[in-house]
Structure 1
Amino acid sequence: MSLLFLPLAIGPWQIALIVVVVLLLFGGRKIPELMRGLGSGIKEFKDASKEDEDEKIESKK
């Protein structure tokens, strides 16, 4: 395995550690707000990419 991809190998212990660190940094009350913001950002990205795809299809007609 290349050293380039070694940091990308994330196991269950690493995920648990990340979750604990996030809880300590942001607290339990702030996390739902962060997730809502992340969800709305992903939705906006999907909508924008779909609009771009629709424009490409219409321009080919």
Structure 2
Amino acid sequence: MPGIWQILLILAIVLLIFGAARLPALAKSLGQSARVFRGEIKQMKEESTKDGAAPSTTASSTAAEQPGPATPPAAPSSDATDPKP
């Protein structure tokens, strides 16, 4: 984890590059972008729970293409297992 001096050095370099006048606008833009991103994530989660958490389209299409499990052979009838007298 960076120490306090490394953080101060990075902040000083950012201040020199962007200038003091542009920093509030840069911070506001960054905050708005983060807010929009969180809103989109929340909306995606709500849609997935609304749809019943359906599996992704790739998983459902591959499951439909794969054949189901083979049916086991029928159990022998009771006549075949009983010894004849």
- Is the TM-score greater than 0.5? yes
User: Does 2:39 match 1:47?
Assistant: yes
Partner of 2:15: 23
- Measured against aligned partners, the alpha-carbon deviations of 1:39-58 in whole angstroms (never above 9, x if no partner) come to 00000000000000000110
- 1:36 alignment partner in structure 2: 28
CA distance in 1, matches of 2:29, 2:23: 10
Paired residue secondary structure (1:60): coil
Give the total of aligned pairs.
53
Give the distance between the partners of 1:53 and 1:10, measured in 2 at CA. 34
With normalisation by structure 2, the TM-score equals 0.60
**Structure 1 unpaired stretches of 5+:** 1-8
The TM-score with structure 1 as length reference comes to 0.82
Structure 1 or 2, whichever has the larger Rg, is: 2
* Percent pairwise identity: 34
Amino acid at match of 2:32: S
Higher helix share: 1
- Deviation for aligned residue 1:32: 0.4
Structure 2 partner of 1:4: none
**Higher RCO, Cα 8 Å, sep 6+:** 1
Letter of the aligned partner of 2:17 in structure 1? L
